[in-house]
Structure 1
Amino acid sequence: MASSNTRQRKLARAKVDRQMVRRADQERRSRQLKAVFGGLFALVLVGVLGAWGLGAFDAKPVDTVAETCAWNPLDVAGNANLKDAGKPATSGMPTSGTAAMTIALNSGNVVAELDRTAAPCGAASLKYLADSGFYNDTKCHKLTHAEGDFALACGDPSGTGSGGAAYSWWVENPPAAEAPSAAPSTDASASAAATPSPAAATAKYPAGTIAMTPNLNGSQFVIFYKASTTDTPYSIVGKVTSGLDVVEKIAQAGTTANEAGEDTKPKQDVVVKTLTVVDTTPASPSAPAAPASPSAPAASGAATTPKPSASTAS
């Protein structure tokens, strides 16, 4: 009997020992897991604090595309002659190379090269409006023929000169400074030959220059048919490549009084049947030479009527 009790006690003791071993093993594993997770948490916390210290969680500005052209709205309510034609995109337009513009007048075609490098906004606006048919069947409203200002103005569907598309932008490509006079010469005849005429020396807008009208430059543009010295700050957008004689014939026909009594309305109706703008190849480093105008060979250093350059009038 005693031996049986002793055996039971030994079995119970062994069972308790096994339970203690398992419990100790579980506690050991629990401590190991806590140590591992504690280490990982510490690493994560250090990383988060480091990133926070470096500004990783600071509010980030929203990425935006830089504006190339900021179109300023004009007061349509205050000027009934303005036409809401929407606005071109503020970015994404070509900013290099050239575009070809064809103005189909009722008296002939005028073809021009638009300079997208020097005047990206002017070129973009003309293309935007041309693509929408804005210019189709509109009249050119003004023909200036005063000394120093020889231009045909178009692009106002109202025909008043105070209308057009209801937006504008800054003067982006103003004319070059006045051309300097020729250097002094000890040879009187050479000096006389080298001295340009006043018109040639001070022309800001050579014949064939196409420019946008300030303040109403959303759609209004002018074509200079003779070299001009006007102080009006036009945005030069391009130059005529063919058809300038069409504008010259319009000028030769003369003007008549407009509704305001000004002698600036073309005597013959000048209608823009269509106006189109298409992209061309990038601008060539060497532009075609201007037509020679002097009847006699000019002396070295002689100044002639300046031609729109790639940076100013092309």
Structure 2
Amino acid sequence: MKRSFVAAIALIPLLVLAAACGSSNPTTKPSGSSSPTQAASGPCAYPSSDQPAARKDIKTPPATPTTTKPTPVTITTNKGAINVTLEADKAPCTVNSFQSLASQGYFNDTPCHRLTTAGIFVLQCGDPSGTGTGTPGYTFADELIKDDPRVQPCKKVKTATGKQQICTYAAGTVAMANSGPDTNGSQFFLVYKDSPLPNAYTVFGRMDASGLKTVRSIAAAGLANGAQGDGAPKSPVTITSVK
């Protein structure tokens, strides 16, 4: 069963954050500046995934985004509200998918199953199964921006797999987890402290100050079962709604 992930860089070693499709600890490869797959009936394509949907009766998003303007949403959790501005002007197909899933209640009563506290600093959510392998039953292409100012500065870093272009995902960033190029589904991550990562994850939103404070409080509680650096949050985090 594949996992989707976010690669966590700790200078030499390459730590991986999984979330949707991919192996349990795959190595992330930067995918450059991909553009969304084109569809005959609209600019966004959402082909069926080879993984079963984590929740039934989810409709595929429309091929044409309902908005291309920044849009505020609130991710309500049992630990507090996380206010996010979705950047549909920069990642229209990604935001289109996120809004479609949210409107169908896909994220309701789902766990944020992964927290990293070393190398990179993110809370990962969006998998109803809580296993890191859950998908909505479809995938979609990356919406990466070459030399994206939102993930600067970037520099060449020597990792366990060779030199990579590693960028800085600033605290407050909201981005998609994946298992490689163009494998986005429903899993996403919330950056609560500047984190070094390849420009391989579609950035589609930003938390406000209060939302960032909520995620930092979750991280401050630490990891479950004495885990070090990467694991489930010590105090379970559940998304109750996204509106």
Same fold (TM over 0.5): yes
Unpaired segments ≥5 residues, structure 1? 1-63, 182-201, 277-314
Question: Matches of 1:180 and 1:73 in 2, distance apart?
Answer: 34
Instruction: Tell me: CA distance 1:264–1:142, structure 2 relative to 1, closer, same or farther (3 Å).
Output: same
- 1:15 is matched with none
| CA spacing shift, 1:248–1:180, aligned 2, 3 Å | closer
Q: 1:71 to 1:256 in 2, by over 3 A?
A: same
> Match of 1:209, as an amino acid?
T
Corresponding residue number in structure 2 for 1:206? 170
Contact 1:101-1:113 at 8 Å conserved across structures: yes
Could you list the per-position Cα deviations for residues 107-150 of structure 1 after superposition, in whole angstroms to 9, with x for gaps in the alignment?
A: 11010101111110111111111111111111100001221x11
1:69 — aligned with what?
Answer: 44
Equivalent of 2:190, from 195, 202, 223? 223
Q: 1:161 to 1:82 in 2, by over 3 A?
A: farther
| Residue 19 of structure 2: aligned partner | none
- CA shift, 1:204, in A, is 2.4
**Matched residue SS, 1:101:** strand
Kindly tell me: are residues 226 and 237 of structure 1, through their superposed partners in 2, closer, same or farther at Cα, counting changes over 3 Å?
same
Whether 1:100 aligns to 2:67 is no
Largest Rg, 1 or 2? 1
Q: CA deviation at 1:234?
A: 1.1
CA distance in 1, matches of 2:103, 2:56: 16
* 2:222 matched residue in structure 1: 254
Hey, what does 1:170 align to over in structure 2?
Answer: 141
- How many Å separate the matches in 2 of 1:226 and 1:84? 36
Q: Identity of counterpart residues, as a percentage?
A: 37
- Kept in 2, the 8 Å contact 1:119–1:172? The answer is yes
Partners of 1:269 and 1:204 lie apart in 2 by: 28
Between Structure 1 and Structure 2, the one with more strand by share is 2
Amino acid at match of 1:223: L
Give CA-to-partner distance per residue, 1:157-179, whole Å, 9 cap, x none: 00001113111111103573652
Cα 1:74–1:232 change in 2 (3 A) is farther
Deviation at 1:72? 2.3
Secondary structure in 2 matching 1:109? strand
One-letter identity of the residue aligned with 2:224? T
Aligned counterpart, 1:306: none
Question: What stretches of structure 2 of length at least 5 have no aligned partner?
Answer: 1-38, 156-165
Whole-Å separation in 1 of the counterparts to 2:114 and 2:199: 15
2:123 alignment partner, SS class? strand
| CA gap 1:120/1:145 in 2 versus in 1, 3 angstroms | same
2:5 is aligned to none
Asked if 1 retains the 8 angstrom alpha-carbon contact of 2:154 and 2:167, the reply is no
Distance 2:142 2:235 in 1: 31
1:157 corresponds to 2:131: no
Match of residue 238 from structure 2: 271
Once superposed, what is the RMSD of the aligned Cα atoms?
A: 2.8
Report how far residue 231 of structure 1 moved: 2.6
In structure 1, what is the Cα distance between the partners aligned to 2:47 and 2:139?
Answer: 5
> Which amino acid in structure 2 is aligned with residue 166 of structure 1?
G
Q: 1:263: how far off?
A: 4.2
The structure 2 residue matched to 1:123, chosen from 95, 111, 123, is: 95
In structure 2, what is the Cα distance between the partners aligned to 1:217 and 1:180?
Answer: 23
Normalised by the length of structure 1, the TM-score is 0.54
Instruction: Tell me the equivalent position of 2:23.
Output: none
Identify the match of residue 245 of structure 1 among 204, 207, 213: 213
Q: Secondary structure at the match of 1:129?
A: helix
- For residues 165 and 94 of structure 1, what CA distance do their matches in structure 2 show? 21
Give 1:256's aligned amino acid. A
User: Structure 1 residue 217: deviation in Å?
Assistant: 2.7
1:90, distance to aligned residue in structure 2 (A): 0.6
State the aligned residue count.
188
TM norm structure 2: 0.69
Equivalent in the alignment of 1:139: 111
Structure 1 contact 173–237 (Cα < 8 Å) conserved? no
Residue 169 of structure 1 contacts residue 218 of structure 1 at CA under 8 Å; is this kept in 2? yes
Q: Is the 1:152–1:223 contact (alpha carbons within 8 Å) kept by the matching residues of 2?
A: yes
SS where residue 210 of structure 1 aligns? Answer: strand
Flag the structure with higher helix content: 1
Q: Is the aligned partner of 1:179 residue 2:179? A: no
Counterpart Cα distance in 1 of 2:174 and 2:82: 11
